[in-house]
A and B are shown apart, each in its own frame.
Chain A
Amino acid sequence: KNEVEQSPQNLTAQEGEFITINCSYSVGISALHWLQQHPGGGIVSLFMLSSGKKKHGRLIATINIQEKHSSLHITASHPRDSAVYICAVLMDSNYQLIWGAGTKLIIKP
């Protein structure tokens, strides 16, 4: 079993829809990252959080430490949101990042 599990693996939605991507982990962490990888390959860090909730524009990330679960939400989705979204946890034992497999999101106009 992978230490970081993301769901869904693939998600196709219509423009304007509310998007949720989930991440569950099984190790002790000091923080969790959400990253976005564009079709061209570039990686952008969206959030790093260790508790509660963070919001940036149309993106919202939440984490529940007790349940070892995080969600990334996109409101009013747009085709430019199409990308792979990756969850990565920073292990509290050695400060290494363990990556989820990513969620490929396609937003259709």
Chain B
Amino acid sequence: DSGVTQTPKHLITATGQRVTLRCSPRSGDLSVYWYQQSLDQGLQFLIQYYNGEERAKGNILERFSAQQFPDLHSELNLSSLELGDSALYFCASSDGLSEQFFGPGTRLTVL
């Protein structure tokens, strides 16, 4: 158990819809990272937050947004969903400089 929690575990929705994925980092970790892993693809970095502030942005679509709240949990919002958004979404946390610890992931299926 990495100490990082993600909810929900599975999510099935339709094209055009909007969903919110939630991540709670390990106790004491200020940094949260979001990654997308499409079928048979490597992990794609989406965005990083550090202590509530956006620190780095990767290949995140404009339809996607994220935020980190004062209690350090983070949410990834995906809107106007397309079939190609079906993927595993991972959250990871760290103290900002060292090892990242991964959550179990949320499997999103867009039908």
Chain A contacts to B: CB under 8 angstroms = 30-31, 33, 35, 41-45, 48, 86, 88, 94-97, 99-102
| Cβ 8 A contact of B88, one of A41, A94, A95, A97 | A41
Minimum C-beta distance from B5 to chain A (A): 13
Seen from chain B, the residues whose Cβ lies within 8 Å of a Cβ on chain A are 2, 33, 37, 42-43, 45, 48, 56, 58, 88, 90, 96-102, 104-105, 107
Contact A48 B98 (CB under 8 A): yes
Question: Closest CB-CB distance, B40 to chain A, in whole Å?
Answer: 10
Q: Which residues of the partner chain B approach A33 to less than 8 Å between Cβ atoms?
A: 99-100
Contacts known (A41-B107, A42-B105); A31 close to B98, Cβ less than 8 A: yes
B105 & A96 in contact (Cβ 8 Å cutoff) = no
- Complex: A86 Cα to B37 Cα, angstroms: 13
Query: Given contacts A41-B88, A48-B98, A99-B45, could you give 14 more A-B pairs where the C-beta distance is less than 8 Å?
Result: A31-B98, A31-B99, A41-B105, A41-B107, A42-B102, A45-B101, A86-B42, A88-B43, A96-B48, A97-B33, A97-B100, A99-B43, A101-B42, A102-B42
Taking a contact as CB atoms under 8 Å apart, the answer to whether A95 and B97 are in contact is: yes
In the complex the two chains form, what is the Cα distance from A95 to B92 in whole Å?
14
